[in-house]
Every structure is written in C-alpha cells, then in structure tokens.
Amino acid sequence: MPRRILVTGGAGFIGSGLCRRLVEAGHEVVCLDNFFTGRKSNVEPLLGHPRFELLRHDLVNPIMIEVDQIYNLACPASPVHYQHNPVKTVKTNVLGALHMCGLAKRVGARLLQASTSEVYGDPGVHPQPEDYWGHVNPVGPRSCYDEGKRLAETLMMDYHRQNGVDVRIVRIFNTYGPRMAEDDGRVVSNFIVQALTGADLTIYGQGEQTRSFCYVDDMVEGMIRMMDQDRILGPVNLGNPEETSIIELARLILGLTASSSRIVHQPLPDDDPVRRRPDIALARRFLAWDPEVDLETGLRATIDDFRARLT
C-alpha cells in the first residue's frame, strides 16, 4: 500500500539511497535535510519526480507534517563531521529524536530511529549482540555522537511505553557505497580517495583493529524490512558480520585501484574501538535479512563512483 513517508537526513549517503528505494516502491517521499553533510546532488535524480519532495529544515527545530512513516536518519555520522560542532551533534540527536517522537505521536506515524554501532563504544563483548549495554566514554571526544544516539534510543522507548508511539530501532554498523562524501573521514572513503589521488593511505595504529563493512543497498533493504514488520521493536543490529582488519582493507583497495600509494601509520585516536562486528541473529530471525553484496564487489562499485567524481 502506498504511504507518505518522511526521511530525515534524506540527502545523506544512506538517506538518499533509502529515498530512491521508497519512491521506486510507489511511496510518496518527503526528504528533509539541513545540508550540513547531506548533498542535493545525492537526490538530484529524484527532484522532478511527482512523488518526491525536498525540504531544507534543521531538525533541532520542530516541524509539523502529515505522514504515515518516519525514518529518522538526521545526524552527521562520521567523526570529522560530528566532532566539528559537538554541541550541535548532541542537539541533532536528542532534540531531533524528541521532535520526531512528538510528531509520530501527533499524527500516528510509525517511527524508525537510525541508531548506531557506536552505542557499544569500545566493546567488551565480541561480536556485539543487542543485549550488550556497551562500553562508552561519556566525556570523550566521540561522546556527542555515542551518547546522543543512546539517548535517542531512550526517547524512542519512553515514548513507546508512555505514549504508545509505534517505534522501531536499528543499530547501523559501518556502511559504505556510492554517494559517500569524499571528505567524510570514514576509512573506506579515506582509503579510496588517497589511492585514486596517489596520496599515502593513512592507517591509525598497526591496522589490526577490525570493522565490518556493509554495502549501502543491503543496509537500505534491512531498514525497510525493519520498518514494515510487526514482530520486533528493536534495537536490531544491521551490518555485515564478516570482520575485516583495517590493514586488509587498505591492501584490498590498493589492489582494486591499481594504486602505487604507500601505507603509512599514525597514532590511534582517543576512544577508537579495537573490534567491531555485529551479531545479526535478530535481523536474520525477524527480518529474514542477511547482507548479499561481498566486500570486493561493493568496493568496485564504490571506487567507480569515486573515480567518476574525482576525474
């Protein structure tokens, strides 16, 4: 059944892919973004579509709009951006979630909160299941994002318990793919840009820390499945359970780009997690979801997209 759907942060990397999928599925989509990290070019192919609407709005301010579903993705998601203005990051996470909960309550919409694997901090449990409460520094340089997302989850569940708001929570692990910003500071985009421009690939520490990389199309599919099911509220992990070390990723990207760039090492930043890998048993059980795009295939598509933009 066609719905009217609000996607906050809809001009971002993941949000724009979500908007495209929802429009293709026959829904009417309202994309909201303040364009701090989102880009109009990400949704430019949709601008003339009769079922797509683009609104410039900052979610720290309330908004009233009639919709059936809300995907709340609004917030800078990379350290270089969320640490640029940490107070604003906290406001976006907390006030944004508060305003979307209030909107969902008023109009009777279902609300999906895009949370993050960062709620687990530098985890003491591996892989990370949803019932692990995390190991987060509440006063560190990443806490504006980590704790902001944790509080957003709190607001979702309190609005559900107190006011009956129909909520869903997903915890997004490292996601990559076309339309990533060249300057977002994430490891995949950093390595690709460095490799394509002949710059040194910068690795923090020895590169033995691990991440789990999920292709953006798989992530969007998981979010839609979470929104459209009635079996679980969440939180539910969405990510690729295949673990890859940073040094392995660097070597793979060098090979795929045929780059002559060197690998150089720098000190680890504060509170950088050593290992990160999702336990996706709940997603498999309740969403019948599993990532389908392998890392090499996804990186090839991502590299092609970056190469087209950089040349």
> Which residues are part of the catalytic machinery?
145
Beta-carbon contacts of 138 under 8 Å, excluding residues fewer than 6 positions away, are 147
Say how many residues make up the chain: 311
DSSP 212-272: E-EEHHHHHHHHHHHHT-SS--S-EEES---EEEHHHHHHHHHHHHT--PPEEEEPPPTT-
DSSP 246-263: HHHHHHHHHHHHT--PPE
Which value, in Å, is the radius of gyration of the alpha carbons in the chain? 19
Q: Which residues pair with 110 in a beta bridge?
A: 69
Cis peptide before 235 (omega within 30 of 0): yes
∠ CA 200-203-208, nearest 5°, is 145
Distances (CA, A) of 210 to 178, 261, 263, 303: 22, 22, 17, 21
Please report, as a single letter, which amino acid is at residue 311: T
Please report, as a single letter, which amino acid is at residue 11: A
Q: Which residues pair with 134 in a beta bridge?
A: none
Alpha carbon distance, N-terminus to C-terminus of the chain: 42
